[in-house]
Amino acid sequence: MSRFLATLFVLAAVFAHANEPQLRLPAEDAILSSRHWLLLRQLEENVVSQNRWAQATAANELLLRAGDSSWVRFAAYSLGVDEATKRSPLSYELRQTYAQRAVTLLATSRKALPQPWSCAQLQAYIIVSNDLLQQEAPNSEPPNDAASALLAWLACGGGPHQPAQVADSYRDYLSLAEGPRRDYLMNKLDFFRTLELD
Amino acid sequence: MMLLTRRFLWQLLDWRGLLFPAVLFLAAAQLSSNHTLGTQSLGDYLALASLAPIWLIYRACDLSHQRLHAQGWADEEVLRSPTKRLPLSEFLAACLALLLLLTLAGAAKSISTPTSTDSPQLSYRALPFQPTDEGHLLRAQTWPNGSQLFLTLHWANLPDPAATISHPDFGSLRPGEMLKINPKLIPANDDGYWVFDFHKIGLSDDQSAPKLATDMSRMAIPRPKGPLVLPLSLLRMAAFFLPLLAAALALVRHTSIRPLLATASTLIFGWMTTWPALDSPASASPIARFVWSASQALPDLSGLLTLGHDWELQYGTTPLSDLLLWLIVFGGIGLVSLLQPRRRPKS
């Protein structure tokens, strides 16, 4: 009887875990930590071999599976700035693809990133500096993704420990009417275009 | 008694009993090292080091099971003598072995990777907000001392963007600055949730109320630092495993279940005390809800078992009352049942 009850208890816990992975089982943390380390090894191999695409994939997996976000920004920067900018010897199409991948990586991982404010700024920078989305409508308003990323960055004052200038910019933005607000963001994004984030 | 304890201790920590923990601690220290290509996380080290007590519980159960059922082992006549307190000596020896192993774990970590000072002071965590009609909900829970909630608000229109707006629950709000709140000062509603409703700011136009940007809001947790963090973590781990050790030995002694099953069921019971609240209980399966509800009746021990990449979330969060309840009541039940005379099977 006791053997049956103990088995039933173990099976119930395993079923509960299978349905709700949030409920941890013994030794699960050790397995996850080992996996964290293996993913780091894989990522470092990609960094050394300069396989940027695989680096971005591994960084995203590290974030999702191990909660380690430090590599996402680095991977996005490598793809969207190191590889995709006009100085790169790669073809235009490949550079655009790399930049788009970097933006997607930052946009999709924003919810899980510990410090999303710094990534929002980088996202806006990559979009603007690589002329993404403007291909479809060259004379259009500032790209929506870039504008919303920039606005998100301004709204949090650039992060919790940033100087007050970013917060002032957001208040300046709020004090404007609807039309001038777009111009204001456009000016800010144009400023990003002139930056060299090296 | 001393003889019994000593013999069981040597049996537990013979070369087979020590080889696995020694290799484990060295590998874990390298894996979590700051100087090699490690994860640089003490939580990862503790996660791997926690395998040693698990291994010890299984080994103690296995040896105890062998003594109960096998014939011809060393000092059998002495140890089977009814005048000797065999179960208590086994428990004491296993306790000593646990403390020795955890001391070894601390030493291995301290020697291989001296405490680093280069990691950031704060760790930021995303929060599972739930949007509702009355605002955003967040399940109220205990956060480590010094934690701060950083909320980003999106404003649409404001009569005077430079002004400071007062909120009855959260104090002053300034556009463009993150709202900083001490989570201990937020009252929870009857369902155990914190409600973030920003329509209460007293502006005449309802459209002017800010919206909470959940993807840009985080909890900042101070990263535990100092020479006492590792020993305290290991001591808490010992406090977590001691009642389980008594329970596992009692199960093996009084029931006919195998050591592996006794270890597994005892450990799962213990791990249930660290289960977090379900983010969305309604969407969980019935069995998950049932087992989770059962776990809510246990004391919250997540602060004793701070493992993995999010270890600082739980560091030092277990209330003293829960710790005492665990040690005295649950440990006491395990110990008393262990010391009960064993029922002989009918022949």
pLDDT at B116 over 70: no
Each residue of B66-83: pLDDT tens digit? 887 777 766 666 666 655
Residue whose pair of structure tokens reads 């490949």 in the numeric block: A94
Question: In the predicted model, what is the mean pLDDT of residues A149-161?
Answer: 86
Q: Which long-range contacts (CB under 8 A, 24 or more apart) does B182-186 make?
A: B182/B147, B182/B148, B182/B149, B183/B143, B183/B147, B183/B148, B183/B149, B183/B219, B184/B143, B186/B140, B186/B149
Q: In this structure, are residues A46 and A60 in contact, taking their beta carbons and an 8 Å threshold?
A: no
Question: Which position has the higher pLDDT, A180 or A163?
Answer: A180
DSSP one-letter code for B185: G
Residue B238 burial (CB count, 10 A): 18
Sign of CA dihedral B313, B315, B320, B325: positive
Residue whose pair of structure tokens reads 């329509």 in the numeric block: B199
Alpha-helical runs (H) found in A49-177:
52-66, 70-77, 92-108, 116-129, 144-155, 165-174
Question: Which position has the higher pLDDT, B208 or B134?
Answer: B134
Which of B177, B256, B261 has its CB closest to that of A10? B261
- Please tell me if residue B270 touches chain A, with a CB cutoff of 8 Å: yes
Exposure string over A156-175, b if 16+ CB within 10 A, otherwise e: bbbbbebeeebbebbbebbb
Which of A6, A27, A154 has its CB closest to that of B51? A27
Q: How far apart are CA B55 and CA A27, in angstroms?
A: 10
Looking at residue B347, its pLDDT comes to 47
Which amino acid is it at B333? Answer: I
Q: How far apart are CA B99 and CA B103, in angstroms?
A: 6
Lowest mean pLDDT among B118-127, B197-206, B287-296, B316-325: B197-206
* Mutation target vs A (from B55, B179, B287, B302; most A CBs, 10 A cutoff): B287
Sign of CA dihedral A49, A54, A55, A59: negative
Q: How far apart are CA B318 and CA B239, in angstroms?
A: 12
Looking at residue B248, its pLDDT comes to 93
Looking at residue B117, its pLDDT comes to 46
Question: In the predicted model, what is the mean pLDDT of residues B39-45?
Answer: 86
State in Å, rounded, how far the first CA of chain A is from the last one: 68
CB A25 to CB B271 under 8 A?
Answer: yes
Looking at residue B346, its pLDDT comes to 52
Reference B61, options B333, B258, B269, B340; nearest CA is B258
Lowest mean pLDDT among A138-147, A149-158, B214-223: A138-147
Residue B298 burial (CB count, 10 A): 17
pLDDT at B37 over 90: no
